[in-house]
């Protein structure tokens, strides 16, 4: 055995430096980190180093040069895959991968053109360090002898790695106090502790979450219950039960954002029918309404609407907690004589819907097998909206009444491609093909909704129904801010603008009501459940819900986003900056602090209910705790 010869470790040194530099370059070019000062940039530069030193340093324990080199190449490849996986995910979701997302493999086969639109030929450059390492190994002199490294040398190496980690954490904590308590703010975590350390932290959080159910007991609900009861909104007397016994048709309008409503694109009206509903005497149009989804996107919106709880910050509840006990809107309506269903022309297992719908107490799921998809009627995720609506109304005509059905549209989905015969308007002209096509698919969906209303009237279902339609989540992510600024005629899109762009439309259309109006108070998807149940005369005072009736005089205009941002009638909190909503300019953070604290509390309460499966300890009829059914 020989003592260490550092010339034999040039491959290790190169791997460390190459991975470090590549990671920082990717941070600066592929992610929008929002660097505000020199200290944040310094933290961003050093945060990959501690993990890179540690993971590659394991090779120092290997005596065989061949084994060491294989380990270094394998590690380099693995880190490149992790980094590129986050880049590809970020392009679509504007977010970073979490461990629960990696278990959603049953969705991958259905991604189709969405995945194809994300991957580019030049992505090979994300693996350039691996390629260079292979080239170096090919031409460098072969080392065959074994050697050992002195313990004090290895110790000094890993002490350096740990020292850099603590320096990183110390500086990050100075920049953002209580950083590690904000596990829902992944961009903040990656910006401060790095992609690789973030994934280690994510594994820790997931392990902690998995243990919560096993260790949970009903006492954890007492504090949550007290908070919910103290913040309830009393239903408006003249609205409570006003439409008792009506059918409820809830339509999830895929990727529809409010910026297209009552707006034009190159002189062409984008949503003529939906525009008309904003002025309709039978429609309540909520003009300052927001989606509150996270990584679960459409499935999150379903969860929020059904349960008046937030989705999780780290994955989709539909996957991670599909067999929990819930007190869904479907269950409450079923208890009050309603036939409940969901209509969605996609594979029943997509987003684990076939399983979680059972937990929601839904009577029937009309999946893709319930529809006949004719020639030219398919879209990349299932079935085009016009034939979907048409066949769905035929199903409704056969349902026992009263019924509650949720419909999930598909055509207006990323990457927003249409067949030529379905294009009612031309594309927009910007540097983003995604935004350019978006207006066309929105216009198609608008036409589909108009024909849907006509079908309901022809089948005699229209007059005795409440038709609720809402945008499920954003369609245009912050990755297209340059194009959005062009369309909105702004110099640029700020964090304030991005928060405002999370607004999606909400329509509550009640035929014959004759008292429709535009309501401009801030509201969110979490408020839909109590609003609908109260219109039908169903009491929710004992329900474990965080939303409030939109028609209640007690309803507060305060909307929490899943990532910790929020909107009130006067303030917007985004990217850790408090904005005056009237001017769009930054204001004293003290104005936002009470709402920041409440946002954290409500998100944590919602997470604890889901992670601990706490509703198994709760009797929704009495509002009392019960012992778990063994």
How confident is residue 216, by pLDDT bands cut at 50, 70 and 90?
A: confident
The predicted model gives 179-194 an average pLDDT of 73
Look at residue 583 and tell me if it is in a domain.
Answer: no
Look at residue 252 and tell me if it is in a domain.
Answer: yes
Residue 266 sits in the same domain as residue 203? no
Q: Which residue has the higher pLDDT, 150 or 256?
A: 256
Residue 158 sits in the same domain as residue 301? no
How confident is residue 373, by pLDDT bands cut at 50, 70 and 90?
A: very high
How confident is residue 210, by pLDDT bands cut at 50, 70 and 90?
A: low
**Alpha-carbon torsion (410, 416, 420, 426), positive or negative:** positive
How confident is residue 115, by pLDDT bands cut at 50, 70 and 90?
A: low
Residues 6 or more apart in contact with residue 418 via CB below 8 angstroms = 411, 437, 440, 441, 444
Q: Which residue has the higher pLDDT, 489 or 33?
A: 489
pLDDT at 5: 46
Q: What is the per-residue burial (b if ≥16 Cβ within 10 Å, else e) of 60-82?
A: bebeebeebbebbbebbeebbee
**Domain range enclosing 323:** 242-549
The predicted model gives 222-238 an average pLDDT of 94
What is the spatial distance between Cα 480 and Cα 91, in angstroms, rounded to a whole number? 10
- Asked which of 549, 570, 586 is the last residue of a domain, the reply is 549
The candidate with the shortest Cα–Cα distance to 237, out of 555, 543, 554, 552, is 552
Residue 375 sits in the same domain as residue 453? yes
- Asked which of 503, 528, 549 is the last residue of a domain, the reply is 549
On the question of pLDDT at 29 being above 60, the answer is yes
The predicted model gives 596-614 an average pLDDT of 95
How confident is residue 112, by pLDDT bands cut at 50, 70 and 90?
A: low
User: What are the residues facing 265 on neighbouring strands?
Assistant: 268
Residue 155 sits in the same domain as residue 295? no
Q: What is the average pLDDT score of the chain?
A: 89
Domain count, the chain: 2
- Asked which of 515, 549, 583 is the last residue of a domain, the reply is 549
Q: Which of 138-147, 226-235, 260-269 has the least mean pLDDT?
A: 138-147
Residue 162 sits in the same domain as residue 205? yes
CB 245 within 8 A of CB 402: yes
pLDDT tens digit sequence for 393-410: 999 999 999 999 999 999
Residue 170 sits in the same domain as residue 285? no
How confident is residue 3, by pLDDT bands cut at 50, 70 and 90?
A: very low
pLDDT at 332: 97
Regarding beta strands 339-343 and 289-290, do their DSSP bridges make them parallel or antiparallel, or are they unpaired? Answer: unpaired
Residue 461 sits in the same domain as residue 520? yes
On the question of pLDDT at 217 being above 50, the answer is yes
On the question of pLDDT at 630 being above 60, the answer is no
CA angle in degrees (0–180, nearest 5) for 531-533-539: 110
What is the spatial distance between Cα 459 and Cα 455, in angstroms, rounded to a whole number? 6
What is the spatial distance between Cα 505 and Cα 496, in angstroms, rounded to a whole number? 19
User: Over pLDDT 70: what percentage of the chain?
Assistant: 91
Look at residue 26 and tell me if it is in a domain.
Answer: yes
pLDDT at 230: 93
Q: Quote the tokens at residue 360.
A: 């929601």
Look at residue 593 and tell me if it is in a domain.
Answer: no
Which residues does the annotation mark as catalytic?
Answer: 298
Look at residue 519 and tell me if it is in a domain.
Answer: yes
Residue 161 sits in the same domain as residue 246? no
Return the SS3 of 618. strand
Per DSSP, the residues of 78-111 read HHHHHHHHHHHHHHHHSS---HHHHT-GGGGGG-
On the question of pLDDT at 103 being above 70, the answer is no
Q: Which residue has the higher pLDDT, 141 or 617?
A: 617
Look at residue 266 and tell me if it is in a domain.
Answer: yes
pLDDT at 114: 57
Q: Quote the tokens at residue 296.
A: 């679960």
Residue 380 sits in the same domain as residue 456? yes
HEC-encoded secondary structure of 479-523:
HHHHHHHHHCCCCCCCHHHHHHCCECCEEEECCCCCCCEEECCCE
Residue 483 sits in the same domain as residue 440? yes
Residue 155 sits in the same domain as residue 300? no
Residue 269 sits in the same domain as residue 208? no
Look at residue 189 and tell me if it is in a domain.
Answer: yes
Q: Residue 522, Cα to own-chain centre: how many angstroms?
A: 20
pLDDT at 182: 56
What is the spatial distance between Cα 361 and Cα 363, in angstroms, rounded to a whole number? 6
CATH (domain of 529): 3.40.720.10
The predicted model gives 491-496 an average pLDDT of 94
Look at residue 596 and tell me if it is in a domain.
Answer: no
* Count of residues in the chain: 630
On the question of pLDDT at 533 being above 50, the answer is yes
What is the spatial distance between Cα 94 and Cα 151, in angstroms, rounded to a whole number? 44
What is the spatial distance between Cα 411 and Cα 438, in angstroms, rounded to a whole number? 10
């Amino acid at each position: 055995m020989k003592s260490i010869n550092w010339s034999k470790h040039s491959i290790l040194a190169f791997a460390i430096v190459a991975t470090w530099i590549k990671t920082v370059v990717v941070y600066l070019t592929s992610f929008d980190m929002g660097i505000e000062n020199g200290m944040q940039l310094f933290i961003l530069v050093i945060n990959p180093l501690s993990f890179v030193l540690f993971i590659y340093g394991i090779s120092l324990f290997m005596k065989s040069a061949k084994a060491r080199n294989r380990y270094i190449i394998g590690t380099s490849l693995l880190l490149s895959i992790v980094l590129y996986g986050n880049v590809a995910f970020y392009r679509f979701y504007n977010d970073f991968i979490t461990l629960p997302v990696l278990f959603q493999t049953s969705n991958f086969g259905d991604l189709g053109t969405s995945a194809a639109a994300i991957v580019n030929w030049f992505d090979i450059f994300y693996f350039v360090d691996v390629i260079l390492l292979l080239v170096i190994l090919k031409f460098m002199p072969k080392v065959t002898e074994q050697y050992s490294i002195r313990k004090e040398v290895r110790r000094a190496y890993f002490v350096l790695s740990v020292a850099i980690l603590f320096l990183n954490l110390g500086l990050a904590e100075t920049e953002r106090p209580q950083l590690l308590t904000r596990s829902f703010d992944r961009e903040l975590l990656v910006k401060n502790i790095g992609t690789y350390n973030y994934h280690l932290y994510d594994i820790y959080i997931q392990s902690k979450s998995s243990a919560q159910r096993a260790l949970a007991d009903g006492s954890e609900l007492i504090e949550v219950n007290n908070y919910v009861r103290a913040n309830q909104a009393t239903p408006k007397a003249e609205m409570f039960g006003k439409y008792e016994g009506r059918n409820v048709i809830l339509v999830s309008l895929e990727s529809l954002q409010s910026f297209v409503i009552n707006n034009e694109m190159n002189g062409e009206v984008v949503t003529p029918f939906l525009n008309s509903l904003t002025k309709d005497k039978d429609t309540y149009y909520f003009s300052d309404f927001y989606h509150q989804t996270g990584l679960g996107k459409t499935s999150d919106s379903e969860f929020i609407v059904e349960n008046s709880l937030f989705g999780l910050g780290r994955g989709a509840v539909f996957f991670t907690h599909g067999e929990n006990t819930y007190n869904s809107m479907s269950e409450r309506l079923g208890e009050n004589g309603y036939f409940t269903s969901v209509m969605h022309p996609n594979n029943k297992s997509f987003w684990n819907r076939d399983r979680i719908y059972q937990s929601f107490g839904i009577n029937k799921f009309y999946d893709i097998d319930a529809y006949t998809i004719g020639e030219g009627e398919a879209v990349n995720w299932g079935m085009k909206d016009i034939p979907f609506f048409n066949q769905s109304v035929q199903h409704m005509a056969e349902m026992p009444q009263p019924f509650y059905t949720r419909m999930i549209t598909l055509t207006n989905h990323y990457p927003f491609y249409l067949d030529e015969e379905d294009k009612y308007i031309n594309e927009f002209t910007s540097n983003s093909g995604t935004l350019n096509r978006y207006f066309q698919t929105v216009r198609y969906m608008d036409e589909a909704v108009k024909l849907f209303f006509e079908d309901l009237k022809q089948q005699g279902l229209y007059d005795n129904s409440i038709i609720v339609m809402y945008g499920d989540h954003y369609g245009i992510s912050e990755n297209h801010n340059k194009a959005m600024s062009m369309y909105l005629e702004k110099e640029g899109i700020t964090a304030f603008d991005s928060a405002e762009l999370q607004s999606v439309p909400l329509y509550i259309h009640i035929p014959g009501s004759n008292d429709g109006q535009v309501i401009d108070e801030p509201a969110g998807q979490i408020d839909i459940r109590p609003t609908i149940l109260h219109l039908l005369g169903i009491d929710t005072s004992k329900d474990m819900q965080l939303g409030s009736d939109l028609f209640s005089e007690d309803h507060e205009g305060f909307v929490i986003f899943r990532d910790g941002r929020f909107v009130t009638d006067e303030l917007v909190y985004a990217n850790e900056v408090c904005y005056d909503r009237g001017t769009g300019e930054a204001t004293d953070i003290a104005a936002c602090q009470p709402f920041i604290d409440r946002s954290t509390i409500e998100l944590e309460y919602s997470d604890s209910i889901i992670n601990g499966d706490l509703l198994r300890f709760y009797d929704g009829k009495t509002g009392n705790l019960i012992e778990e059914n063994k």
